[in-house]
Amino acid sequence: KQEVTQIPAALSVPEGENLVLNCSFTDSAIYNLQWFRQDPGKGLTSLLLIQSSQREQTSGRLNASLDKSSGRSTLYIAASQPGDSATYLCALRQSTFGDGTTLTVKP
Amino acid sequence: EPEVTQTPSHQVTQMGQEVILRCVPISNHLYFYWYRQILGQKVEFLVSFYNNEISEKSEIFDDQFSVERPDGSNFTLKIRSTKLEDSAMYFCASSDEYHYSNQPQHFGDGTRLSIL
């Protein structure tokens, strides 16, 4: 059974810092991996989706990588801003989610 | 930008009662999903739906649950004989392609279900 783990559970950084969020999974037979953002009391917003055949995806200040052989994905956020404060979730095949990393960016 | 809408935002129901959660997916989307998130826990997949039938369901989605697309716009989740442990945030999502695609899902803001 696929297991998804996200480390760290929480992260607090000063504004402007670059940061990396980690997602690891146990079964490399994935179709895609999606990174979401969840704001308190809100639904999930899809940030980036990487298909199994891809190594990375970029959108603005966000870059997500995928290494199936090691069972890992990373979400890189450049020049963090207070508005980036949220919980970030990774999900495999739209059906298996991690616990999330709660990010706080301090002004 | 089109969005997925869910109603009500908060539903309070007595244990044992039936509840229907409603969702209006994005109009040109073909694939629909329900998820739940118990407070402080992971988002859990319940069911996916395409072409008027269930495509995939999780172990959670037992006979207590059912889904329906009663018309061209609504997508509903019915929970029969509700239990205390059904209390959670329920999210609806839609996409215009299925699991294996490169099309992201769009989520609603959820319905908070409280069972008393």
* Cβ within 8 Å of residue A23, ≥6 positions away: A4, A5, A6, A33, A35, A72, A73, A74, A75, A90, A98
Within 8 A of A91 by CB-CB distance, chain B residues are 43
Within 8 A of B56 by CB-CB distance, chain A residues are 95
User: pLDDT of B102-114, one tens digit each?
Assistant: 678 899 999 999 9
Rounded Cα distance between A7 and A9, Å, is 5
Within 8 A of A96 by CB-CB distance, chain B residues are 45
| B58 pLDDT more than 80 | yes
Rounded Cα distance between A11 and B28, Å, is 38
Q: What is the DSSP letter of A93?
A: T
Q: How does residue B96 score in pLDDT terms, banded at 50, 70 and 90?
A: confident
Q: Which two tokens stand for residue A81?
A: 């801003």
Count of other CB atoms within 10 angstroms of residue B34: 25
User: pLDDT of B62-85, one tens digit each?
Assistant: 999 999 998 878 999 999 999 999
Rounded Cα distance between A36 and A34, Å, is 6
Question: Hey, is the C-beta of A107 within 8 angstroms of any chain B C-beta?
Answer: no
Candidates A94, A97, A101, A102: best to mutate against B (most CBs of B within 10 A) is A94
Q: Which two tokens stand for residue A51?
A: 């298909």
A residues 42-81 closer than 8 Å to B (CB): 42-46, 49, 51
Q: Of B86, B98, B12, whose CA–CA distance to B44 is shortest?
A: B86
- Does residue A44 contact residue B43 with C-beta atoms inside 8 Å? yes
Q: How far away is chain A from the Cα of B60, in angstroms, using its nearest Cα?
A: 12
| A4 pLDDT more than 80 | yes
